[in-house]
């Protein structure tokens, strides 16, 4: 009985909701600050014929050819997707963490990894349609070097949803789900390193500074991104929806598409082609994750401090 009660408390507690809101707010704040770096990364991943140069050069090219505001093209759909995605992830991860804390045994990296994988799977299944739409909107109206890529014409998020469903079928909204499911290792590895490094930094009741949180978040994300980047490139291409593949459906078709995209990338650009855009991705994702964790920790600690004061006042 007590275990079931603990599970219910973990899943539905106000504390878990605070973590989810703080995580969503932190990610939206951080992504907004570093959004142009995400724009550079997306172009390098999808546009085969755009040369891989340093991030500042790519950003200067885009601004010169398409205007400064093009660096923020697709901001709203990306932020909407990110907000929902991080709310789901932080809610699920912290609910599982709360349930695990009520059980036997101490916190371990292996436990953090497992919780991260479960939270990632839930997140992928619920939010992939939003990421498919935001990839399309982010790349709409851009000047591609690859002439085989055609332009799409969506008037916004809801129009993109309706056009994709009408013209390509509901299943298209889950394009790239398989690499996304494999990529749950990215946030899982990130959170495993983050929780482990944070426990080490706070050993003996030490107070962890914002600078330490920033550094811990940056290290955790850098490791996770470098390990999983080739799959992120495949994921972006599949979400964009212009890779035809071999026409096979189901799991085998998805695996086949992933394999051929890998081989095509290696054939055209060598093994390092799998890491095209990594510099921009590392800059964007590491800085974004680091800032996100700082905002997240500030919001949660401030909220729980207020909650603690409220409890004292009631007593």
Structure token digits, residue 136 = 């399309």
Q: Residue 46's pLDDT is what?
A: 72
Who's near 211: CB < 8 A, 6+ residues apart?
A: none
For 182-226, write each residue's pLDDT tens digit.
Answer: 778 888 889 899 999 999 998 888 889 999 999 999 999 998 888
Give the pLDDT score at 250: 53
**What is residue 11's predicted lDDT score, i.e. its pLDDT?**
62
Residues 78 and 135: their CA atoms lie apart, in Å, by: 8
- Digit-by-digit pLDDT tens for the chain (315 residues) are 444 544 455 566 888 999 999 999 999 999 999 899 888 877 777 776 777 677 788 889 889 988 898 889 878 888 988 899 999 999 999 999 888 877 776 778 888 889 999 999 999 899 889 888 887 887 777 676 666 667 777 888 889 899 989 988 898 888 778 777 877 888 888 989 999 999 999 888 888 999 999 999 999 999 888 888 888 777 777 766 655 555 555 555 567 777 777 787 788 778 777 787 777 778 888 899 999 999 999 999 999 888 774 544 344
Torsion of CA 241, 170, 27, 199, to 10 degrees: -100
Q: What is the CA radius of gyration of the chain?
A: 21
- Structural contact between residues 215 and 294, judged by C-beta atoms closer than 8 angstroms: no
Q: How far apart are CA 193 and CA 138, in angstroms?
A: 31
Q: What is the pLDDT of residue 244?
A: 57
Spatial CB neighbours of 177, under 8 Å, sequence gap ≥ 6: 124, 125, 128, 254
Residue 256: the pLDDT is 75
The whole-number pLDDT of residue 295 equals: 95
Number of independent structural domains in the chain? 1
pLDDT at 311 (0 to 100) = 44
Q: Closest Cα to residue 243, out of 48, 8, 7?
A: 48
Contacts (Cβ under 8 Å, ≥6 apart) of 299: 18, 21, 22, 25, 26
Domain extent, residue 180, equals 2-314
Q: Please name the residue ranges forming H helices in the chain.
A: 2-12, 14-33, 35-46, 55-66, 75-102, 109-138, 157-168, 177-182, 185-201, 210-240, 250-269, 278-314
d(CA 60, CA 289): 24
Sign of the C-alpha dihedral, residues 103, 108, 111, 112?
Answer: positive
CATH classification of the domain holding 232? 1.50.40.10
**What is the pLDDT at residue 145?**
67
Predicted local confidence at residue 28, as pLDDT: 94
Q: Name the token pair of 45.
A: 């991943």
């Amino acid at each position: 009985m007590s275990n079931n009660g603990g599970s219910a408390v973990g899943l539905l507690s106000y504390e878990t909701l605070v973590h989810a809101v703080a995580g969503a707010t932190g990610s939206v704040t951080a992504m907004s600050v570093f959004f142009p770096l995400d724009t550079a990364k997306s172009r390098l991943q999808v546009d085969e014929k755009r040369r891989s140069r340093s991030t500042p050069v790519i950003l200067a090219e885009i601004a010169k050819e398409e205007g400064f505001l093009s660096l923020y093209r697709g901001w709203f759909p990306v932020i909407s997707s990110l907000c929902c995605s991080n709310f789901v992830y932080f809610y699920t991860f912290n609910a599982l963490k709360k349930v695990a804390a009520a059980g036997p045994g101490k916190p371990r990296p292996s436990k953090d990894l497992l919780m991260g994988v479960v939270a990632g799977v839930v997140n992928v299944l619920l939010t992939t349609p939003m990421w498919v739409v935001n990839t399309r909107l982010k790349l709409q109206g851009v000047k591609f070097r690859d002439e085989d890529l055609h332009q799409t014409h969506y008037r916004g998020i809801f129009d993109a949803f309706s056009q994709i469903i009408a013209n390509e079928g509901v299943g298209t909204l889950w394009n790239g789900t398989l690499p996304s499911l494999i990529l749950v290792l990215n946030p899982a590895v990130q959170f495993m390193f983050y929780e482990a490094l944070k426990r080490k930094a706070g050993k003996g009741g030490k107070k962890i500074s914002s600078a330490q949180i920033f550094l811990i978040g940056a290290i955790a994300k850098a490791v996770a991104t470098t390990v999983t980047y080739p799959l992120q490139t495949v994921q972006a291409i599949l979400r964009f929806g212009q890779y035809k593949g071999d026409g096979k459906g189901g799991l085998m078709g998805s695996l086949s598409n992933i394999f051929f995209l890998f081989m095509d990338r290696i054939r055209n650009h060598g093994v390092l082609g799998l890491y095209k855009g990594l510099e921009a991705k590392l800059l964007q994702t590491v800085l974004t994750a680091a800032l996100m964790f700082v905002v997240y920790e500030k919001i949660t600690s401030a909220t729980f401090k207020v909650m603690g004061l409220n409890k004292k006042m009631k007593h």
